[in-house]
Every structure is written in structure tokens, then in C-alpha cells.
Amino acid sequence: MSNAVEQIRKVELGTGGPLVGVQGFGAMGISAAYGETDGAAARDTLEATLEAGVTLIDTADMYGFGANEEFLAPFVAAHRDEITLATKFGFEFRAGESSYRGISNDPAYIRKAAEGSLRRLNVEAIDLYYMHRRDAAVPLAESVGAMAELVREGKVKRLGLSEVTGAELHEAHAVHPITAVQSEWSVFSRDVEQSAVGAAAALGVAFVPYSPLGRGFLTGAFTDASKELSGSDFRQLLPRFSGDNAEANAALLAPLRTIAADHGASTAQIALAWVQQRAQAHGLTVVPIPGTRKRSRLLENAAATRITLTAEELALLEPIAGRVAGDRYADMSHTAVAREA
Ligand SMILES: NC(=O)c1ccc[n+]([C@@H]2O[C@H](COP(=O)([O-])OP(=O)(O)OC[C@H]3O[C@@H](n4cnc5c(N)ncnc54)[C@H](OP(=O)(O)O)[C@@H]3O)[C@@H](O)[C@H]2O)c1
């Protein structure tokens, strides 16, 4: 009997973009943000991505303040031609610092940040370079112009934006083609459907939903982050995952559980199938990037790309986001929804 893992299907990442597996991998949690990590298990999980056909690998300079990019570098070196490597700039920090100073989209900073990422990832070019957050102090055209300069110099192949509104996406795309928008999108978080999703569909820009598992909450792995997760876990700071909010939100998972049982699947898989189908309804290519520190979960998540939910099941999940208690960040000022007209 073969132990070969079934490969997921491939899609074009935005019009004319590279072919990538229809699900990507969010690398943040393998060395940062979500509590204790195990280097060996994380490396094994990374190897499992390619076995499953997961080829879009996502990091950012601020995950562990450079450490996540450095952790990925050996894997990237071993598989440079098999993966599409995405990283981001925008949360300003300096070498050796462990908190960020603010959000910067200043052209000189963008160049410095790109050079730092190239060095830590040990690559000649970044396949997809995202503006992580919008800094309203700098005109968008100036920042995207600076990003485009990196493309002309061969340091970056394609551009992306994270947490932008539909209007901002249109404006940026007029300066230089944008390949992908990365923003939070899940059964619990649907503010992107206000404008960014429609704009991406209209422009042929791919959508890369981050935290498609609601940072793990949709899997039922924890209820109250302030009581159940370790002190170093960033999720303790997120209003929807602690106290009364968390308790109320946990009750919203009941339909996910029912549907999962009917499919012989996990709630994580149903959450991932939902975002794929929701995007199809918008005529949009999506490549969600769930994160996990475990090989078995990587394979489980990839298998979700083969699940199709019925119209009745989608209808059961439809009202959930509107009932979620608490914001997705303690400080929402840097999110796209804060700038929606
Ligand atoms: N652009 C942005 O501003 C932004 C913001 C946040 C995240 N991101 C990107 O998006 C990626 C994914 O988001 P995320 O990591 O925040 O959240 P997520 O993918 O929604 O959830 C990750 C959590 O779910 C757990 N998990 C994963 N698969 C599971 C499964 N099958 N069963 C049970 N639990 C499972 C993981 O735990 P284990 O590790 O223990 O499996 C982890 O705690 C990040 O890695 C990062 O690259 C981008």
C-alpha cells in the first residue's frame, strides 16, 4: 500500500500569477505568536506542505521580529523552485528589538525592510511581497511606487496588500498590478466582504484569507484564551477569545460541529471548505493559509479542499459572523474595516 498523500489542486494566484496549491500555509505559528513551539515538529510540518501540494508559504518580517523568516530559510533553500514564498513589511522594528514601533509605509523604510527579509530568508528575490498594514501618513501611490521599484530591480516578483479596502486596492492596482490581497476571512470574520472581496474579484486579484480557522477557535481547540493559553500566546489579547465573549462565541460553533459530523470531517475542515465556497460565490480565486505546528493537521487541512458543502449547510453557517461577540483585534485602527466609508 502506498503512503503517498493526495495532492491538492492548483490555481493561478491572480491573473497571470504563479500556479500554487489551492490552500497555502501560514508559517507564523510555527515559531511565533501562539505559545510554545517545537522546531523538529515544525520542520516536519513544513516538509508535509509539499507532500500535500501546499506551495504558497506565508511569513512576515514581524513574526518573531525576523525569527520566523530565519526559521524558514533552510526549508526555502532546500525547495526554492517548488514554493511561492510570501513575506510582508509594515510593522516597523529594528534588528534586535522585540516590539514594533508603529506602522510604516515610508519608501525608504520599505527598501530597508525588503533588504532585511531577503537577507533573513537568504533568497535573491521574494516571490510575493505584501504591505502588511496601511500607513495613512504616506500616500498609497508613493508606497506602491516604492514596492514597484523593488520589482523592477528584481528583488521582488509580485506585489500584495494586507488589510486594505476595495478602494485602496483599486488605487494601488492602478500604480502596479497587485497579485493578491491577504486579509482575515472566515466563518467568524467577514468584514472583507464589504468591499475588498468585490474589488479583488473585479480586478482578477487573488484573495489569501488569513486566520481561516479563526486563529484556532473554530476548531474548538480552546474557548477562553485568557484561562487556557500560555502567557506568550497573542490570542489572549484578542477581545473575542476571552471571558463572556469567548463563552458566547463558543456556542456559535454548534452548526459547524453538526456539519462536521455529517461529513465525517473536523470543524477545521468545514471552516476551510466554507471559505473556498464563499469565494466561489464571489467569483474569486482564494488560497487560504491556515497555520499549524503539526504534520497531521496540515494533511487534515489540505484534505478539506475536497469537501463540498450543500446549500443547506452554507445557510446554517451564514448567520454566525453577524453574531460574534468582540472585535478581532484589541486595536482595530489598523484594519481595513476601520477605513471603510
Ligand atoms: N496579514 C496579516 O495581518 C495576518 C494576520 C494573522 C495571520 N496571518 C497569516 O495567516 C496564517 C494563518 O493564520 P493564523 O495562524 O492566525 O490562524 P488559523 O490558521 O486560523 O489558525 C491557526 C491555529 O489553528 C490550529 N489548527 C490548525 N489546524 C488545525 C486543525 N486541523 N485542528 C485543530 N487545530 C488546528 C493551530 O494550532 P496547532 O499549531 O497546534 O495545530 C493554530 O493554533 C498565519 O500563519 C500568518 O501567516 C496574517
pLDDT tens, residue by residue, 281-335: 999 999 999 999 999 999 999 999 999 999 999 999 999 999 999 999 999 999 9
Q: Domains in the chain, please, with CATH?
A: 11-216+276-307 (3.20.20.100)
Ligand 1 centroid vs 54 CA: distance in angstroms?
15
Closest CA to 158 of 148, 172, 171: 148
Could you read off the pLDDT of 101-154 as tens digits, one per residue?
A: 899 999 999 999 999 999 999 999 999 999 999 999 999 999 999 999 999 999
Output the residue whose Cα is nearest ligand 1's atom 47: 26
Output the ligand 1 site: residues, CB below 6 A.
Answer: 26-29, 34, 58, 132, 162-163, 182, 210-216, 219, 221, 266, 268, 289-294, 297, 300-301
Residue nearest to atom 14 of ligand 1 (CA): 211
Nearest alpha carbon, ligand 1 atom 43: 216
Largest separation between any pair of C-alpha atoms in the chain? 60
Q: How far is the CA of 15 from the centre of ligand 1 (A)?
A: 26
Contacts of 244 (CB under 8 A, 6+ apart): 325
Question: Is the pLDDT score of 32 beyond 90?
Answer: no
Pocket test for ligand 1, best of 219, 253, 266, 287 (most atoms within 8 A of CB): 219
- Concerning whether 329 is annotated as a catalytic residue, the answer is no
Statement: residue 236 has pLDDT above 70: yes
35: confidence class by pLDDT, cuts 50, 70, 90:
confident
Residue nearest to atom 38 of ligand 1 (CA): 292
User: Which of 34, 63, 129, 130 does the annotation list as catalytic?
Assistant: 63
The pTM of the full predicted model, rounded to 2 decimals, is 0.96
Lowest mean pLDDT among 131-145, 163-177, 223-237: 223-237
Look at residue 49 in the predicted model and tell me its pLDDT: 98
